[in-house]
Amino acid sequence: MATQRGSSHRSCKKWLKGFLLVFLFLLLVTAAFNFETDCSGIFRPNKGLKGVALNLINGKMVAGYMGRNDERELERLIVENYPGQRDTIALGSSRTMVLRKRFIRGGNVDFFNNSVSGAIIEDYIAIVGLYRRKGVLPKTVIIGIDPWIFNKNNRLGSEFWRVLESYYREMVAEFPKGARGRTLVASITEPRSDVASSYEQLINLEYTLQNWDYLQKGKKLYVTDTVNVDDIIREPDGSVDFPYNLRFGTMAQIGLRGLPPIIYRDFEALSGTELFEDLLHYLKTHGVAVVLLLPPLHPDVYQACLNDPKYSITIKVEAYLRQLARDNGFTMVGSFDPGKYGFRAEDFADEIHGHESVMKRLFETYR
Amino acid sequence: MLFNSYGYIFLFLPLVLVLYFVLSKRRFTVASKVWLLFASLLFYGWWNPVYLPLIAGSIIFNFIVGKLILRQGEEGRSSYSRSLLVIGVVGNLALLGYFKYADFFISNINAVGHVKLPLLHIILPLGISFFTFTQIAFLVDTAKGKVKEYSALNYSLFVTFFPHLLAGPIIHHAEMMPQFDRLRNKVADYRNVASGICLFFIGLFKKLVIADTFAVWANNGFDTLNQLTVIEAWVVSLSYTLQLYYDFSGYTDMALGSSLMFNIKLPINFNTPYRSLDIQEFWRRWHITLSRFMRDYVYIPLGGNRVPEWHILLNLMITFFVVGLWHGAGWTFVLWGCMHGATLLIHRLWKRSGFSMPSWIAWFLTFNFINVGWVFFRAKTFGDALKVLRGMVGIDAALLPKNIWISLRHANSFLPGLDDLFGRLGNNSRAIVCMFVIFLPLSILFKNSNEIAERFRPTVIQLILFVLVAWLSVLFLGTYSEFLYFRF
């Protein structure tokens, strides 16, 4: 009996060793693959980004997938390497990316679209911080606003802004002290180390699949002469042409899935308004004209915002922004309500992204 | 700290395990227990250290009350110890009531009395329902003379032992305290470590790969869409039914697996519940330790089966009213509990009448009743529940989505595409079909994780299988999710 137990003990010990060895080996291989491929430039900056920035500054178009960290790093390189001062810039998320130079005053303006995917208020501040540090604040800042940037539980993109964290900190240091400012950072970012969260990507499925996809398609960032490419294209004005499914897709093809829970999660009250107002106040006091841009939502989604208490906060966000614009004399363009401009379902690529025609029409009367 | 976190898997658990057995091997028995207690408190405090004094206070209070009851011995058990027991139970319930039910109580007063008392917005401390119930059971058994002398260290470890602390299983002192003292348990048992690891990773896989996938479709249906077609509504309700099972049983597997590595066997909580042929069987297979607690500390004290029939039925209803309320401070939970109570009542009458039905019909009825019940359990409001239920019976919307007719007009085939059927619920309609085809039968027909872990053999095939399960689960770790039962 004792011998039997002893042999079972030994075989289990051997099995355990084997398990740990193979398991750790697999993890190591996965980590090495992700570290080496690193399509989003999480572990080391994408060496090609400076080239992308220079190409864009020199009026060329660049196509190809870019990770969210790289997007922010690219903004830094563009601002640092651009020789002059911009008249107008746009800040915002993917919903604002289709705002193009030619839509604004017939293109007779030195415009650059600094929108980044999954932007939150910290991103806005950090990007303005890029211009501030170089001493070239633009004359006008168009701020594309998504309702969920005021949701403290919005988990979309809540960490990417840290790529530009030093610029953000410098900006916040100039905000009024006391009750205002810095509140959102404390409330939405978890007390975790940047480095740790980055290195978690080494053994993350989503990142592994992204890297695999990246390798499979052999996609690198490349210069293109035409927008007729089924890829993400960044134009010289910083605006973006999405891949064909988003660029030309209609709701019948994509299917309405409602508002993504990840951004409307527990969105019951407005957060971060003080930080946002601090930014606007900073711009105003430095002589920068502010334009608040509200890209519309899909008509069915907006209907849900009207009818469903879970999303009704959207209406409150717009009311808050309109009041803010009135009180401070900011220009207001657009509305979350697509009906105000007569937009229909066909004008949208999905629940929250309008086609470029939407942006074009919004800016027809902008002077 | 969450079981499904890098910190727990790669740092906390290995470190605590190794140091525990190193101390035990060198015969530092007390030190090894202190280490385990410290680790458990760290595990609890990781989420929010503010609640550490709360759990510490609760342990000290119950320890002292238990000691005072024990001191009365046989003679004093009648009146003084009963008073102490009442104080102890009321104290525990007051704590639970304040943190869990205060806002529910206030909002009901506001609704009934048309007043506007401000809500307290108290954050529910993790695991409070579990450690409170564990300690109430302990006090009751102490008053009944079922508890022998115990030390502060053993008691604290029994309450806080990290594998069961946050979401159960609800443990009983009689099955736990002796295990901490058993000498054989002080030596690392590689068989237990190996099967514990297997059970842990089965649980992690159930949680991250299965439950969280179903969660997307359930969340979209319950929280996002305003109206559901018949097919969507059934996909949504079944998604939640499977999500809840794989989530909670996955958590329990991780708890049992972690504990087994320390040679401590926690009671099983799930035994293939969706295989049940009647509602009584379901409650013998679902959240077994809660059913056991409710039977021993609510149903039997109310009179159990030793009272007239009408009283038994009333006891059943009261017990399940409490079960509903235990799960959450909301009327949807109460309704869910009462639905189960009423069905148990009907089942009892049916059994007494001597009628019977074929097994497959019994399974079908039971499973669908449970599925409908979970709709109330999941919904945040009655409106959300009714939306799904109306969809399931096709009151609100057509059988098929509107855009299916557009597709049919343009398609060469008369068969609708999967995206037309489920496209609104998630990005990958094929995944919905695959997940149901694989994991619905798996939850009913096949061996459950406890059976798999019990029959663990150190073979090469099992090694390959479990390495793949572990590797895949770890890759899924990056996605944010919390366990459903943390909120109860």
Query: Does A93 lie at the interface with B, CB-CB under 8 angstroms?
Result: no
Closest CA to B454 of B113, B196, B275: B196
Q: Look at A206 and B478 and tell me if their CB atoms are within 8 Å.
A: yes
Q: Cα distance from B425 to chain A (closest Cα, Å)?
A: 6
How crowded is residue B165: how many other Cβ atoms within 10 Å of its Cβ?
A: 22
Whole-Å CA distances, A259 to A45, A262, B47, B358? 33, 9, 29, 45
Distance CA B49, CA B125 (A): 10
**Hey, what are B260's tokens?**
């087994």
Average confidence (pLDDT) per 10 residues, chain B, 488 residues: 88 94 88 92 87 92 90 68 89 90 88 83 82 90 82 90 86 84 83 93 93 86 78 90 93 94 92 94 94 91 87 92 89 93 92 88 95 92 87 70 50 50 66 84 86 86 93 82 51
**Hey, what are B94's tokens?**
């007051």
Distance CA A268, CA A311 (A): 9
Query: Does B419 lie at the interface with A, CB-CB under 8 angstroms?
Result: yes
Residues pairing with A354 in the sheet: A348
Distance CA B276, CA B285 (A): 8
Greatest CA separation for chain A: 91
Residues pairing with A241 in the sheet: A233
Mutation choice for A interface testing from B21, B184, B208, B226 by most A CBs within 10 A: B226
DSSP string, A272-287: SHHHHHHHHHHHHHTT
What pLDDT, on a 0 to 100 scale, did the predictor assign at position A136? 93
Over its C-alpha atoms, chain B yields an Rg (Å, rounded) of 24
Query: Does A257 lie at the interface with B, CB-CB under 8 angstroms?
Result: yes
Closest CA to B61 of B103, B100, B96: B96
What pLDDT, on a 0 to 100 scale, did the predictor assign at position B403? 52
Minimum-distance CB partner of A15 among B224, B406, B463: B463
Minimum-distance CB partner of A308 among B226, B423, B474: B226
Q: Look at B463 and A8 and tell me if their CB atoms are within 8 Å.
A: no
Closest CA to A255 of A348, A359, A335: A348
**Hey, what are A228's tokens?**
């007729």
Query: Does B224 lie at the interface with A, CB-CB under 8 angstroms?
Result: yes
Average confidence (pLDDT) per 10 residues, chain A, 367 residues: 63 92 95 85 73 89 82 91 93 93 89 92 94 94 93 70 87 69 37 54 84 75 85 92 81 52 71 90 94 92 81 91 93 93 87 90 85
CB A325 within 8 A of CB A292: yes
Greatest CA separation for chain B: 86
Residues pairing with A222 in the sheet: A63
CA-based angle B401:B406:B408, to the nearest 5? 90
The number of CA neighbours under 13 Å toward the Cβ of B82 is 4
Distance CA B278, CA A41 (A): 55
Q: Which strand ranges, in their side-by-side order, compose the sheet holding A289-294?
A: A111-113, A88-91, A140-144, A289-294, A331-334
Q: Look at A257 and B423 and tell me if their CB atoms are within 8 Å.
A: yes
**Sign of the torsion angle spanned by Cα atoms B361, B363, B366, B367:** negative
CB B450 within 8 A of CB B268: yes
Closest CA to B161 of B48, B32, B295: B32
**Hey, what are A344's tokens?**
């229909």
Q: Look at B190 and A257 and tell me if their CB atoms are within 8 Å.
A: no
Distance CA B124, CA A27 (A): 36
Distance CA B355, CA B358 (A): 11
What pLDDT, on a 0 to 100 scale, did the predictor assign at position B252? 94
What's phi and psi for A142, nearest 5 deg? -95, 120
Residue B33 neighbours by CB under 8 Å, 6+ apart: B153, B154, B157, B180
Q: Look at B194 and A19 and tell me if their CB atoms are within 8 Å.
A: yes
How does strand A289-294 pair with strand A331-334? parallel
